[in-house]
Amino acid sequence: MSTHGVREDHFAVLGVERRYDLDAGALEARYKELSRKLHPDRFAKADPRARRAALQRTVQLNEAWRALKEPLKRAEYLLELGGVKLATDDGGARSGGVAAPQELLMEILELREELGEARAAHDDAKVARMGEAMRARAAAAAERVAQGLTGAVTSEGLEAVARELVALRYYRRFLDEVSAHDEAREGAAHG
Amino acid sequence: MAEALFQISEPGQARVKAPCTPGFSRAVGIDLGTTNSLVAMVQNGKPVCLVDDGGDALLPSVVHYAPDGDVIVGAIARDRFAPVFPADTIASVKRFMGRGPRDAEATRKLTPYAFAPSAETEGVVRFAVAGGRAVTPLEVSAEVLRVLKARAELALGAPLEGAVITVPAYFDDGQRQATRDAGRLAGLEVLRLLNEPTAAALAYGLDKGAEGTYAVFDLGGGTFDVSILKLEAGVFEVKATGGDSALGGDDFDRAIAGALLAGLGLPADAGGDRKLTRRVLDAARALKERLTDADEASLELDVGGRSATVRLTRAELEPLVRPVLDRCAPAVRRALKDAGLEARELSGVILVGGATRMPLVRRFVHELFGRDPLGDIDPDQVVALGAAVQADILAGEGNRDDVLLLDVVPLSLGLETMGGVVEKLIHRNTTVPCGATQTFTTYADKQTGFDLHVVQGERELVGECRSLARFKLGGIPPMPAGLARLEVTFMVDADGILRVMAREQTTGREASIQVKPSYGLAEGEVERMLLESYAHADEDVKARLLAEQQVEAKRILAALDGAMADSPELLGDEDRAAIAVARAALEAKASGADANAIRLAVEDLDRASKPFAERRMNRALERGLRGKDVDTALAHAEHKHG
């Protein structure tokens, strides 16, 4: 993560309120409006200093847009601003952030083993079923993140959201494996 | 330094406003293609492809190097010189851009080129061409660009202010830098490198008023790209891109050529015969092109002196190229996934590149996307037209403030860390310009320097990614492991070109580099080439080479006359007629001042008299076997030069 001391936060760069429930369409329109103004292409004929400034501001704008456009990344960023750190993937508890509980790790590990067996056995129906169940679980977690970040937020509330977000990482990795299976299957069907 | 050199190459280029055709943009768009290149310019608000004297917009990207230092570009190089001087005539050079001598393209078996030996294992590919020269892909490309530049300046009636050059979206950093340097070498101010699919979308979006999300399927001579773009209120936002920078129509040709060679009972590498390789590849391309409209095509192929008829039906063609085409499918699926879309959510599919004319390719696109592609703009011209629009916007002359392109990084950028693992700093499909900063630390006590290895690619291990550059940050005071803090910043500009900065935080030591590709040119080499290119037109050298060619022509004419007088019984009527035509042509050229024309005429006569020469050779051998002195007999029979 790039954390420079005096930088504007991503919400300020985009000129929007610091909150979770932003309107996706309005946010995108705002990003494009700012791009039109700041993009280096607007300064192709300007002096080098103006070009450099345009480059820097657009880099900052693109970074802000990347951090805020997807709700879950926006949630992670809000936590970061609120001083709640998520554990890094490999660091676990050692990195000091909020980590996934041991029982969740065990459960996911078992589910992934089961998924691996279904893939190896070419049991497409089972892979699809497991994917469906996990998608529902991820959607519910995302919903709880949204609720946790809407309205008045306490520090306990942030911790709860952080746990959901950490869990969501594991759910997504599981779903990636389901997509990998679908892709491999499609590839075989076309090839 | 670069700016100073520009002033040498184009005095006052960007400063003095010379009178030019009113309504014409002073900046052009150039599609530097694998097979053909084009230049387009906005004229009175509309992009137009510029044509040559013969009315052709397409300039074949083929460059011939003559022994006297002359460089011939285009259709003549392709049709006239490539068959006769395959090693001195470079086609499809784009496939070698930013590539090293060990890359797949430079190590193919079926190749008409000769490669100059390279001192190190890393470095740039060099072609060994006539006159003992070794040219880099960058220089070859610059020759194509020079011709297009001249064409544009003729149309404009004034020097150009700049150019937008297109590159495949999937070009990596090294390939982009090589392209930008080629533009510089050609004396162009490169306003922007623009991704080809984005250019195509720009042409469609403005011309057809398209809105929505489109896929651009771009299958050119040497590269395949797929991009997913959202077009909305003048903003062209690339959502995802994918492809293969070494997959294109050339690979179809190679697959067809392989089948032709097998059908003729010849080895897969054509026995290392460069001329045969060139002819078979050309025959494959010609058959493929004819089979776009016809169900069956045939042509005569000269195989070692005898003519063979090669025939191909569309039904035979398709299974040959289908395996190559299938390699496009995973990239398409991944691009859709990266964009978070299903194929049915697209508003349309835009076709780009000559290879998309093939009925098989259109069917394939239909299968992949479940819809018929759009093809209302000529797929050969659409990229150049879009580039011209972007050039017009950047030159700030058009009234197109409402248009903006938002492009992405095609391949992830990262650094090598412990154990050869890649730490990605910028992920693929991140909108440019963009930056990222990451902090690293020392892993050994008293480590006084950091070796930074910059790589590009999606794989986790360094060995499987493309190495972009290595540099070192030294002078760090000895500390225990893990105490030094190295902050590395990657910055990618709107051309997609990377700059890396490194700073050790406890000491404040800094290092900053414009990434020089590992498989690129050494520092300062482009500048040296720029200077050399002026000293190149050496009239003395030309005069000497002309004299040599004239002497050579006389020698060959005399030797042939002698041989014909000596063994008239070995000459058929057909031989006599063919030799007479070629002989007369050479005699006519030999007194002229065009060394290349003489050289071509010599080759023609050589070919016409080849059957006769072979018969004389055989007879000499027979006589030799009957006890005569073989050397004398052979020397007597040999009327060929060299």
Task: Name the average pLDDT for chain B.
Answer: 84
Eight-state DSSP code of residue B116: P
Please report which confidence band the pLDDT of residue B15 belongs to, taking 50, 70 and 90 as the band edges: very low
B190, B235, B236, B334: best to mutate for the A interface, most A CBs within 10 A: B235
pLDDT score, position A101:
83
Please report which confidence band the pLDDT of residue B421 belongs to, taking 50, 70 and 90 as the band edges: confident
Please report which confidence band the pLDDT of residue B642 belongs to, taking 50, 70 and 90 as the band edges: very low
Chain B nearest C-alpha distance from A45 (Å)? 7
Domains and CATH numbers, chain B: 2-247+327-406 (3.30.420.40), 249-325 (3.90.640.10), 413-519 (2.60.34.10), 539-637 (1.20.1270.10)
pLDDT score, position B207:
73
For residue B50, give both structure tokens. Answer: 């510029």
Please report which confidence band the pLDDT of residue A60 belongs to, taking 50, 70 and 90 as the band edges: very high
Q: What is the mean pLDDT of residues B236-261?
A: 92
Burial category of B457 from C-beta neighbours within 10 Å (exposed 0-12, middle 13-18, buried 19 and up) = buried
With H, G, I as helix, E, B as strand and everything else as coil, classify residue B380: coil
Which pLDDT tens digit goes with each residue over B461-470?
Answer: 888 788 888 8
C-alpha pair distances (Å), B73 with each of B61, B78, B333, B381: 7, 8, 38, 19
Active-site residues of B, by number, are 31, 94, 196, 218
Q: What is the mean pLDDT of residues A110-134?
A: 94
Cα B32 from chain centre: 8
Q: In this complex, do A40 and B232 lie within 8 Å of one another by their Cβ atoms?
A: no
Question: Hey, which of B232-236, B276-280, B592-596, B614-618 has the most confident mean pLDDT?
Answer: B276-280
pLDDT score, position B450:
82
Whole-number percent of chain B with pLDDT over 70: 86
E strand or H helix that includes residue B299: strand B296-303
Which pLDDT tens digit goes with each residue over A4-39?
Answer: 445 689 999 999 999 999 999 999 999 999 999 999
| Whether the predicted pLDDT of B472 surpasses 50 | yes
Q: What is the mean pLDDT of residues B75-79?
A: 95
Please report which confidence band the pLDDT of residue B139 belongs to, taking 50, 70 and 90 as the band edges: very high
Q: What is the mean pLDDT of residues B49-54?
A: 93
Separation CA B333–CA B376 (nearest Å) = 25
Q: How far apart are the first and last CA of chain A?
A: 41
Q: What is the mean pLDDT of residues B354-361?
A: 93
Of A39, A65, A187, Cβ closest to residue B404: A39
pLDDT score, position B282:
93
CA nearest to B78, candidates B225, B221, B271? B221
Separation CA B219–CA B237 (nearest Å) = 21
Do residues B36 and B59 make contact, with C-beta atoms less than 8 angstroms apart? Answer: yes
Separation CA B267–CA B36 (nearest Å) = 30
| Domain A10-69 fold | Helix Hairpins (1.10.287)
pLDDT score, position B4:
30
Eight-state DSSP code of residue B229: E
CATH no. for A92-190: 1.20.1280.20
pLDDT score, position B11:
35
Please report which confidence band the pLDDT of residue B151 belongs to, taking 50, 70 and 90 as the band edges: very high
pLDDT score, position B368:
93
CA nearest to B593, candidates B545, B556, B540, B552? B545
CA nearest to B241, candidates B203, B205, B199, B209? B199
Of B404, B432, B435, Cβ closest to residue A36: B404
pLDDT score, position B630:
45
pLDDT score, position B20:
66
Q: What is the mean pLDDT of residues B568-591?
A: 88
pLDDT score, position A190:
53
| Whether the predicted pLDDT of B326 surpasses 60 | yes
Please report which confidence band the pLDDT of residue A183 belongs to, taking 50, 70 and 90 as the band edges: confident
Domain ranges in chain A are: 10-69, 92-190
Q: What is the mean pLDDT of residues B145-169?
A: 93
Eight-state DSSP code of residue B98: T
Q: What is the mean pLDDT of residues B471-488?
A: 82
For residue B584, give both structure tokens. Answer: 């007369």
Cα angle B371, B376, B381; round to 5 = 120
Q: What is the mean pLDDT of residues B51-64?
A: 95
Of B192, B402, B435, Cβ closest to residue A59: B435
Please report which confidence band the pLDDT of residue A93 belongs to, taking 50, 70 and 90 as the band edges: very low
Please report which confidence band the pLDDT of residue A91 belongs to, taking 50, 70 and 90 as the band edges: very low
Q: What is the mean pLDDT of residues B449-466?
A: 84
pLDDT score, position A102:
87
Please report which confidence band the pLDDT of residue B633 belongs to, taking 50, 70 and 90 as the band edges: very low
| pTM listed for this prediction | 0.79
Lowest mean pLDDT: which of B372-386, B407-421, B509-523, B562-576?
A: B509-523
CB count within 10 Å of CB A110 equals: 10
| Whether the predicted pLDDT of A142 surpasses 90 | yes
| Whether the predicted pLDDT of A159 surpasses 60 | yes
Which pLDDT tens digit goes with each residue over B306-325?
Answer: 889 999 999 999 999 999 99
| Whether the predicted pLDDT of A166 surpasses 50 | yes
Give contacts of B438 with chain A, Cβ < 8 Å. 2
Q: Which residue has the higher pLDDT, B642 or A152?
A: A152
| Whether the predicted pLDDT of B34 surpasses 80 | yes
Separation CA B480–CA B503 (nearest Å) = 18
pLDDT score, position B12:
35
Of A62, A186, A191, Cβ closest to residue B433: A62
Using a CB–CB cutoff of 8 Å, tell me whether A52 touches chain B: no
Lowest mean pLDDT: which of A86-95, A180-189, B62-71, B277-286?
A: A86-95
Q: In this complex, do A66 and B430 lie within 8 Å of one another by their Cβ atoms?
A: yes
Q: What is the mean pLDDT of residues A159-163?
A: 91
A10, A32, A89: best to mutate for the B interface, most B CBs within 10 A: A32
Q: Which residue has the higher pLDDT, B438 or B593?
A: B438
For residue B52, give both structure tokens. Answer: 């040559």
Using a CB–CB cutoff of 8 Å, tell me whether B468 touches chain A: no
Quickly tell me which residue has 């002073």 as its tokens. B26
| Whether the predicted pLDDT of B479 surpasses 70 | yes
Using a CB–CB cutoff of 8 Å, tell me whether A70 touches chain B: no
Using a CB–CB cutoff of 8 Å, tell me whether A55 touches chain B: yes
pLDDT score, position B520:
53
Whole-number percent of chain B with pLDDT over 90: 46
Q: What is the mean pLDDT of residues B424-444?
A: 90
Chain B nearest C-alpha distance from A57 (Å)? 10
CA nearest to B228, candidates B218, B212, B241, B211? B241
| Whether the predicted pLDDT of B18 surpasses 90 | no
For residue B234, give both structure tokens. Answer: 């003048």
pLDDT score, position B1:
29
pLDDT score, position B170:
86
Lowest mean pLDDT: which of A103-107, B160-164, B357-361, B607-611?
A: B607-611
Question: B349 pairs with which residues across the strands?
Answer: B215
- Which contacts qualify for B390-393: CB closer than 8 Å, 24 or more apart? B390/B29, B390/B164, B390/B192, B390/B194, B390/B199, B390/B202, B391/B25, B391/B27, B391/B28, B391/B29, B391/B41, B391/B42, B391/B162, B391/B163, B391/B164, B391/B191, B391/B192, B392/B25, B392/B27, B392/B42, B392/B47, B393/A41
Q: What is the mean pLDDT of residues B550-564?
A: 85
Closest-CA residue of B relative to A52 is: B493
| Whether the predicted pLDDT of B475 surpasses 90 | no
